[in-house]
Structure formats: structure tokens, C-alpha cells
Amino acid sequence: MLNKRLLIKNLLAHNDESSFYDKKRQLNLHTKEGKAKFLKHICALSNSNPANNSYIIVGVEDENNEIVGDDFFDDSKIQNLVNAYIDNPPRIQYENVPFPNLPKEKVVGLVTIKPKSKISSFKKGIYTILANTVFVRRGSNSIPTEEKIPFSKVNTETVISIENNSRNSIEHTLDGVQDFINNKHKDLFSKYKVFKELFVVCWAGIKKNIRNTVFYSRVDIELINEQIKLFYSAQDDVTISYDESSFTITEHIVLGINDKTSYYPLERLTITFFDNGYYKMTTQMLFEPPQYNRKMLHHIYNSNISLLKKLEKEIRLTEREKKDVLKVPSALMICYLNGFEEAKHKLIEGKNSFKKFYNPKVYVEFKEAIRVLRKMKYN
């Protein structure tokens, strides 16, 4: 069982980027350019390292390998993005790895690209990449090629050595449990559960009862053995259930218009543990968008667009408008889910205005709305 934090440290210690690993400051998957860059590296690493796992580390400065972290990224549908654009797509996995020096909401992303023998290519174009393009790695660069790519095991010994030096131990597991409960979340309700005498899951949050259901907010859930964060949210409310062989997280979002809010199930993640030291994670999208009167939504849409324009032009806002800005991202998302196609584009265009707003909660709300829309798109 690999300790993913150790794995990242060992990869970063292996000098510069190569044909089996790459590093990025952040991913940007809500623009075509960002998607194209990500897919290009997936394609190139898969083709250049077909006999072993390849890796992309997200949240690291390119110049000096400083670990700066990135936002928690829980898009389990990222494989669907790869499948949509790449022929002979590799199987990939995205994991969120916490580091002691990072804030609670920041993690290092680890993309694992599984080995495969067939050549990957783009089956359709995206941004400036044309259909049928094949990419390979040359040092730290992903470049297009028309040459035939020979099957290579050149990195096998190096990758196996790095992975073997990243194996977990009882000491790492016990230290991880104590750190989670006594240091990271000493101010919250915390608990752990051992599955199949092998796996340790820790979770923490604020408990609250709503209509006879126990919800957790400010939730942090980690699989300690592998040092990966399974779920994190400073906003959403989740329900947690488990038995002797599985752990289930059901994520809810609070949505509404005119201060009338309700809890809507968004997605269910189930982790099933097996006796042989293997586990699998399955997700099920549950979200059914709330539907509203179209005439009322027209009024809400227009008023939010007007407020967004004021933000973009940096026009001084009234005290009431400053409070209303907090609701703009979720209001535009609701409008989009009710058939206002342009609302999504307006939401994305407002990113910089939300980011510059004096209240940081507005940008958090923006990222939350984008996350929900991304989940729905790739479901």
C-alpha cells in the first residue's frame, strides 16, 4: 500500500520532470485551453511510459519544487473527460494529498496514469490540438510526433524503486491518526474506523441534526493508510454511514431563491474494502435540480446580471448589494439548470470579479457552483 505523501516527495526528489512524471502549479479544467493542456500531458506520459505508472503532481512551483498546494478537487468524472477526447485512453486516478505545511483547504493533487500497451491519440480536436495528434515526452516537454513509438520499459526500474520507497508502515498510519485527531481537528468532532484490519478512515466535522438526519459541515475525511483526502468542504453538508466493509459519504448542497433554501443530495461516494488489501470507490450522481417559475427566474437572472456588471465595472455597491453578491453564483447556476443557457457563460466570465471582491466567501461560492456544474457535465 503506497503512502501518497511519501510518493510525491520521492518523485520531486527525482530531479526534473521526465517521461514518467510532470508537475503543475494548478489545473484549469473549466476552459478549453486548460483541458487541452491537461489531455496533452496525459497522452504524452501514457505513450512514453507504457510499462509503468506515470504521475502528474498538481500544486508545486515549477522553479524550485516548493509545495504550495491547490484546491481540493473531487471530480471523479475526470476519466470521462479523457475518454471523450483520447483514443485508447489510459486509466487515470486523481487523489488529494494533504501536507502538514499547507492550510486545511489546500492539498497536493496526484494524477496516476496506469500503464497500457496501445498508443493514445486525440480522436477529436480541442483548442489548438487537431484530431489524430499523438504526443510523447521529450525531457520535460510534451510534443506532437508522427514517428512510430516503440514499446519501452526504460523507466521500469526507476519507477519501481520510487514506489517501493513509498510503502506505508504502521508508524506512518498511527502518526497519521494522531495528527488528524489531535492537531488538525482538535476543535471538531473527530472519529476513526478500521476496515478489514487494514484500512483506517478518519473524519471530522460539526455535527447538526436537521429533520432527524445527522449532517456534518466543515467536513474533512481521509484514508490515513494512503495519506489521501477523500472529501473536504468548508461549505457543503454531508451524511456519513458505514458497515464492516464499506464507508459511504452522501454530499448535499443547500440551494434556494429568495432565502428559501433546501437540502439537495448531490453525489454519493461509496468506498468498499476487501480482505486482500484492495479497495474500490464508486460514485453515484443524485442531483435533481430544483425547478422554478420561469417568469420569476427572468427577473432574478436580470437582477443578478446587472449586479455582475457593476462588479466588473467596479461601481460602488450599496450595503444591500454587497450582501446580494454572495448569492450571485448559486443564482446563476440555478438559472442555468432551469434552461437559461447563457447563465453559465456569465458565471464563468465573472470569475475575476468574484476573486477581487473584498469578501472571499464570494469566490468560494463561485468555485462551488463551478464544481457542481462540472460534476453534472461529466456524469
Q: pLDDT tens-digit profile of 165-184?
A: 898 888 989 999 999 999 88
The alpha carbon dihedral of 294, 296, 300, 303 has a sign of positive
For residues 162 and 169, give the distance between their C-alpha atoms in angstroms, rounded to a whole number.
16
For residues 3 and 197, give the distance between their C-alpha atoms in angstroms, rounded to a whole number.
17
> Which has the higher per-residue pLDDT, 259 or 233?
233
> Which has the higher per-residue pLDDT, 75 or 35?
35
For residues 90 and 113, give the distance between their C-alpha atoms in angstroms, rounded to a whole number.
6
Q: Hey, what's the cell of 14?
A: 527525482
Smallest CA-to-CA distance from 204 within 238, 161, 164 is with 238
pLDDT score at 184 = 87
For residue 259, name the pLDDT band (cuts at 50, 70, 90). low
The answer, yes or no, to whether residue 47 has pLDDT greater than 80, is yes
| Helix/strand/coil for 368 | helix
For residues 166 and 148, give the distance between their C-alpha atoms in angstroms, rounded to a whole number.
34
pTM for this prediction: 0.77
Mean pLDDT of the chain: 89
Answer yes or no: are the C-beta atoms of 75 and 67 closer than 8 Å.
no
The Cβ of residue 81 has, within 10 Å, a number of other Cβ atoms equal to 21
23, 153, 300 from 50: Cα distances, Å: 19, 7, 52
SS3 content of the chain, % helix, strand, coil (to 5): 35, 30, 35
Residue 135's DSSP bridge partners are 144
What are the tens digits of pLDDT across the range 77-122? 788 889 999 999 999 999 999 998 888 889 999 999 999 989 999 9
pLDDT score at 260 = 65
C-alpha gyration radius of the chain: 22
pLDDT score at 249 = 93
pLDDT score at 231 = 86
What are the tens digits of pLDDT across the range 189-198? 999 999 998 8
The answer, yes or no, to whether residue 29 has pLDDT greater than 90, is no
For residues 227 and 99, give the distance between their C-alpha atoms in angstroms, rounded to a whole number.
9
* Identity of the amino acid at 370: I
pLDDT score at 19 = 79
Answer yes or no: are the C-beta atoms of 334 and 288 closer than 8 Å.
no
Answer yes or no: are the C-beta atoms of 241 and 255 closer than 8 Å.
no
Q: Which run of H or of E encompasses 355?
A: helix 351-356
Answer yes or no: are the C-beta atoms of 311 and 262 closer than 8 Å.
no
For residues 340 and 226, give the distance between their C-alpha atoms in angstroms, rounded to a whole number.
42
Query: Quick one: average pLDDT of 371-376?
Result: 82
189, 191, 200, 215, 330 from 186: Cα distances, Å: 8, 11, 18, 19, 32
Residue 306's DSSP bridge partners are none
Smallest CA-to-CA distance from 250 within 200, 218, 285 is with 285
212 burial class (0-12, 13-18, 19+ CB within 10 angstroms)? Answer: exposed
pLDDT score at 379 = 58
Give the rounded distance of the alpha carbon of 268 from its chain centre.
Answer: 15
Q: Hey, what's the cell of 366?
A: 463561485
What are the tens digits of pLDDT across the range 342-363? 999 999 999 999 999 999 989 9
Q: Hey, what's the cell of 64?
A: 524550485
For residue 156, name the pLDDT band (cuts at 50, 70, 90). confident
pLDDT score at 16 = 64
> Which has the higher per-residue pLDDT, 257 or 59?
59
User: Phi/psi at 297 (nearest 5 deg)?
Assistant: -65, -35
Lowest-confidence segment of 79-88, 187-196, 255-264, 320-329 by average pLDDT: 255-264
Give the pairing of strands 213-223 and 141-145: unpaired
Give the rounded distance of the alpha carbon of 323 from its chain centre.
Answer: 29
pLDDT score at 268 = 92
